[in-house]
Amino acid sequence: MDDLTIRIIGQAGRITFTRPKALNALSHDMALALHRALEDWRDDPSVALVIIDAEGDRAFCAGGDIAAVYHAGQAGDHGVGRRFFRDEYRMNAAIADYPKPVAAFMQGFVMGGGVGVGGHASHRIVGDTTRIAMPESGIGLIPDVGGSWLLGRAPGRIGEYLALTGARMGPGDAIHAGFADLYLPEAEWPTLIAQLEAGGDIADLRGHPVPASPLARADLQAWGGRDLAEIRAALNDDDAIKALDRNSPLSMAAGLALIRAARGDDRVQDSLAREYRFTARATERADFLEGVRAQIIDKDRQPRWQAPADADAVAAMLAPLGPDELDWRTDA
């Protein structure tokens, strides 16, 4: 397909995002194709490892391509969004559980759906341009694609801070927070990728000293508050307060609950299944359609949040889906 190049070079299965003008946004078809490639290579003895990268300087993958989900939801068709999120999450879990090494080379913007691809790889490489974020609260969604799993495992209260503000991490912060493993200047990536293709040995993958992490030195104690109101009241950071005032209250409250629940999960599938309870309902009952309208469709950057954000509303969005719970069988 035009948006994704899939091939075998040497001993490596190669997946490259090829829509740089769209910041390599992940469409439903791309998610399905990526998952199929992984399944095809799982038991292929000629493939020793998988390498995922992207064309362009601006982004590895800046998020999911959700325009189709928005337009379908506006027309009253909520199945399009449910199928997109279901198949995307299955792909995310397949990367996390893959039996062969998966190396993701993540330059530029890595957000939302991009984190769902690169963030679950076994070997996550970042460079000087890398900016990783989970900004979903700004469009009325929650940190999904296994984002709650990653955020829940970040040191201290970094997970809460990143989820509620959508703040971007450079390479040092990304490694400190557990979203990446190795730092390597991007000029060195082509040579290393060629080496991995030729030898098929993940031991060839070595990074440079990790850049400093501002997050490691930040005082994030306030983000341990019991709920959004308590967190906001404890903040003395004007930028953080502005971020909280800008984002969807329901999304932030649900995201907070998801991250804290994920800390008790044993596998990423548990976190993804919980995230799906929100996203399966998102086009019908949350602030998602309004958030996408304001940020992506009309681009007026003036969302009018209306969904209630109290404890009952959060519980309703995260309640089990019964027979519609996320099923990990790809033929379901």
Quick one: pLDDT at residue 44? 97
Per-residue model confidence as pLDDT tens digits over 289-309: 999 999 999 999 999 999 999
Minimal CA–CA distance to 167: which of 119, 218, 230, 91? Answer: 218
d(CA 274, CA 307): 19
Indicate the residue type of 206.
R
The answer to whether 275 touches 148, Cβ cutoff 8 Å, is yes
Find tokens 């990790």 and name the residue: 210
Joined together, the tokens standing for residue 275 give 């995230």
> DSSP letters along 117-148, please?
HHTTSSEEEE-TT-EEE--GGGGT--STTTHH
Rounded-to-integer distance, Cα 38 and Cα 239, Å? 41
pLDDT band per the 50, 70, 90 thresholds, residue 286? confident
What is the extent of the structural domain holding 265? 4-320
Location of structure tokens 């879990």? 93
SS3 of residue 51 by DSSP: strand
Angle made by CA atoms 188, 193, 196, in degrees to the nearest 5? 130
Give the residue among 143, 144, 189 at the shortest CA–CA distance from 167: 143
In a domain, 178, yes or no: yes
The reported pTM is 0.96
* Residue 290 CB-density burial (10 A; 0-12 exposed, 13-18 middle, 19+ buried): middle
Neighbours of 95 (CB within 10 A): 23
Write down the pLDDT at residue 330: 60
Q: Which residues of 102-112 are buried (b: 16+ CB within 10 A; e: fewer)?
A: bbbbbbbbbbb
Amino acid at 135: P
Q: What gap in Å lies between CA 134 and CA 175, rounded to an integer?
A: 15
For residue 327, tell me if it sits in a domain: no
> Which whole number is the average pLDDT over 136-165?
97
Number of domains forming the structure of the chain: 1
**Per-residue pLDDT, 327:** 87
CB-based contact 114:53 (threshold 8 Å)? no
Residue 45 lies in a domain: yes
pLDDT band, residue 328 (cuts 50/70/90) = confident
Helices (H) and strands (E) in the chain, counts: 15, 9
Residue 183: give its domain's CATH number.
3.90.226.10
- Residue 332 pLDDT > 70, yes or no? no
152, 267 in Cβ contact below 8 A?
no
15: which 2 tokens? 């997946």
Q: Read off the pLDDT of residues 83-139 as tens digits, 9 standing for 90 and up.
A: 999 999 999 999 999 999 999 999 999 999 999 999 999 999 999 999 999 999 999
In three-state secondary structure terms, 65 is coil
User: What does pLDDT average to over the chain?
Assistant: 96
Rounded to 5°, angle at Cα 76 from 75 and 80: 90
For residue 130, give the nearest of 188, 190, 179, 196 by alpha carbon. Answer: 179
For residue 331, tell me if it sits in a domain.
no
Residues 161 and 241: beta-carbon distance below 8 Å: no
Q: Which of 135, 201, 146, 202 is nearest to 178 (CA)?
A: 146
**Could you tell me if residue 237 is inside a domain?**
yes
Has residue 332 been placed in a domain? Answer: no
